[in-house]
Structure 1
Amino acid sequence: MTDSFDPVAYNRAAWDREVENSNEWTQPAGPEVIARARTGDWSVVLIGYQAVPRDWFPAELVGAEVLCLASGGGQQGPVLSAAGAAVTVLDNSPRQLDRDREVATREGLAVRTVLGDMRDLSVFPDASFDVVFNPVSNVFCPDLAPVWRESFRVLRPGGILMAGFLNPDIFIFDITALEERGELIVRHQLPFSSLDLTDAERQRSYGTGPIEYSHSLAGQIGGQLAAGFTLTHLDEAPHHADATAQYMPGYFATRAVKP
């Protein structure tokens, strides 16, 4: 990669390709899911396949202003909209946002979509939202401090930030051995980025997928605290798709509040 490499532009194109390749996180919610959500029977995920506890959300979701941050794909946003929230989805991938518009058009939902970088929410005024919902996506973001600062700014007092993220220890393992043979071979130091690999290694391990970054827990949780949030809940889950699930949590989820 050159000094002029733009990770936002690269990952935008990479996620557009993931849509074309039918990545599971690009598959929009079906009519039956939306129909159930309209009756109050709904759930969404922050980490893996684990439903977020309902008490992490406001007691009254109807009318709540929710920002689904880097959460395109037609999954969480339309479900929350069908459950009664006023939903805005911001994502770096035009094709992921197409998925949200697809469901919104099909189901008659009012879902606002915005193309952008999760570190820059300047399109939104201060205190615009009651909830920021950020499923596992900051693994594709080079630096997290702006994400937490901007999330804090756009939330109203008492607003809730829900974030899902990868356990950084996942990145110490050789990804090819992990995915192809289920072997846990320690290879990388932390912090890690797939940009650290040679072009040939990156192609072998990640193909044309997005660039990933192993953010520390200090950057993930400590960063939220430094931005001014009060942490109220912490959860964990095994990675849903690799052999580390037998030994360690692959995901963490946090709920934090703006005082």
Structure 2
Amino acid sequence: MSARFAGRVALVAGAGDGICRAAAVAFAREGARVLVAGPDPEELAGTLKLIRDTGGEAHSVVADLTRGGSAAAARMVDAAVERFGALDIAFNNATVTGPNSNVADIAEDVWADTLAANLTGVFMAMKHELAHMESHGRGVIVNTACNMANSGRLVGMSAYAASKAALSALTRTAAHEYIGKGIRINAISPGPAHEAGADHADGATAEEVAETVVWLCSDEASFVVGHDMVLDKKTVV
């Protein structure tokens, strides 16, 4: 097991599978102690098993940022600090695609739910993560945006595109606010992540996305601030 993140604590929030699971496993492989947070306890348990089976150290907390809001965000940050004594890294990977409808056909409550999951939930997470990190003068945050959010090509997915474009803007603005306080903030914008070996021309595997997240959180990326990194083979215009 690598010592790249030895002595550091990483919070992976959003779900217990897919990119979240791959990132949690990757952080643990690099020596971090990992707190995984999400709404499904069975998925979280599966992630913990993968980490512990390879000698990693991890803990989980059930936290639904969409429905639980600020209280859920506070609970997961508190859990990391209480369990491991610190919070050095946070990866916020909340992603709900929402309806496949043209703008005029989107129900108002569905619009609100999509923004609550993809934007407000991440804002709540950042609010509590930043409060802890600022008090300690250091930290790294990575958020998951979307590679097509700013291109206007997500036809029928306006709520999703709007929420992810707003998250990208929030990430860049927060990065400028907090870099002077020792906290680096960036985003990733992957295409559709898929299982290794699947027949997709675009989009990385969850493991490939996770490796980018790990790099962004490492000392090797110490001068990368306020970026939204597109992870796709296509050129977005």
Alignment-derived partner of residue 191 in structure 1: 158
Alignment-derived partner of residue 163 in structure 1: 143
Alignment-derived partner of residue 52 in structure 1: none
The answer for unaligned runs of 5 or more in structure 2 is 99-113, 204-208, 217-223, 227-237
* Counterpart AA for 2:89: V
Instruction: Indicate yes or no: 2:61 matched with 1:80.
Output: no
Deviation, structure 1 residue 151: 1.8
Deviation, structure 1 residue 153: 2.4
- Pairing 1:102-181 to 2, within 5 Å after superposition: 102-118=49-65, 119=69, 120-123=72-75, 124-125=77-78, 128-135=86-93, 137=95, 139=97, 142-143=115-116, 144-155=119-130, 156-157=133-134, 158-166=138-146, 167-168=148-149
Alignment-derived partner of residue 8 in structure 1: none
Cα distance, 1:104–1:163 mapped onto 2, change above 3 Å: same
Of 67, 72, 76, the match for 2:11: 67
Deviation, structure 1 residue 130: 1.2
When the two structures are aligned, how many residues end up with a matched partner? 163
Contact in 1 for aligned 2:5/2:32 (Cα 8 Å): yes
Alignment-derived partner of residue 220 in structure 2: none
d(CA) in 2 for partners of 1:169, 1:244:
21
* Counterpart AA for 2:158: P
Contact in 1 for aligned 2:141/2:185 (Cα 8 Å): no
SS of 1:122 mapped into structure 2: helix
Q: State the identity as a percent.
A: 15
Runs of 4+ more than 4 Å apart: 138-141, 169-173, 225-246, 253-257
Cα distance, 1:214–1:92 mapped onto 2, change above 3 Å: farther
* Counterpart AA for 2:162: H
SS of 1:129 mapped into structure 2: coil
RMSD value over aligned CA atoms?
4.0
Contact in 2 for aligned 1:71/1:134 (Cα 8 Å): no
Alignment-derived partner of residue 232 in structure 2: none
d(CA) in 2 for partners of 1:142, 1:236:
17
Deviation, structure 1 residue 70: 1.2
d(CA) in 1 for partners of 2:158, 2:178:
24
SS of 1:88 mapped into structure 2: strand
- Pairing 1:22-33 to 2, within 5 Å after superposition: none
Structure with larger Rg: 1
SS of 2:48 mapped into structure 1: helix
Determine which structure has the larger strand proportion and give its number.
Answer: 1
d(CA) in 1 for partners of 2:26, 2:165:
32
Deviation, structure 1 residue 159: 1.3
Contact in 1 for aligned 2:145/2:190 (Cα 8 Å): no
Cα deviations by residue, 1:65-95 (Å, 9 ceiling, x for unpaired): 1101114224221221131112100012223
The answer for unaligned runs of 5 or more in structure 1 is 1-37, 41-59, 174-185, 193-212
Contact in 1 for aligned 2:143/2:171 (Cα 8 Å): no
Q: Using the TM superposition, name which of 233-242 and 94-103 deviates more.
A: 233-242
* TM-score in terms of structure 2 length: 0.52
d(CA) in 2 for partners of 1:102, 1:171:
40
d(CA) in 2 for partners of 1:232, 1:79:
19
Contact in 1 for aligned 2:94/2:121 (Cα 8 Å): no
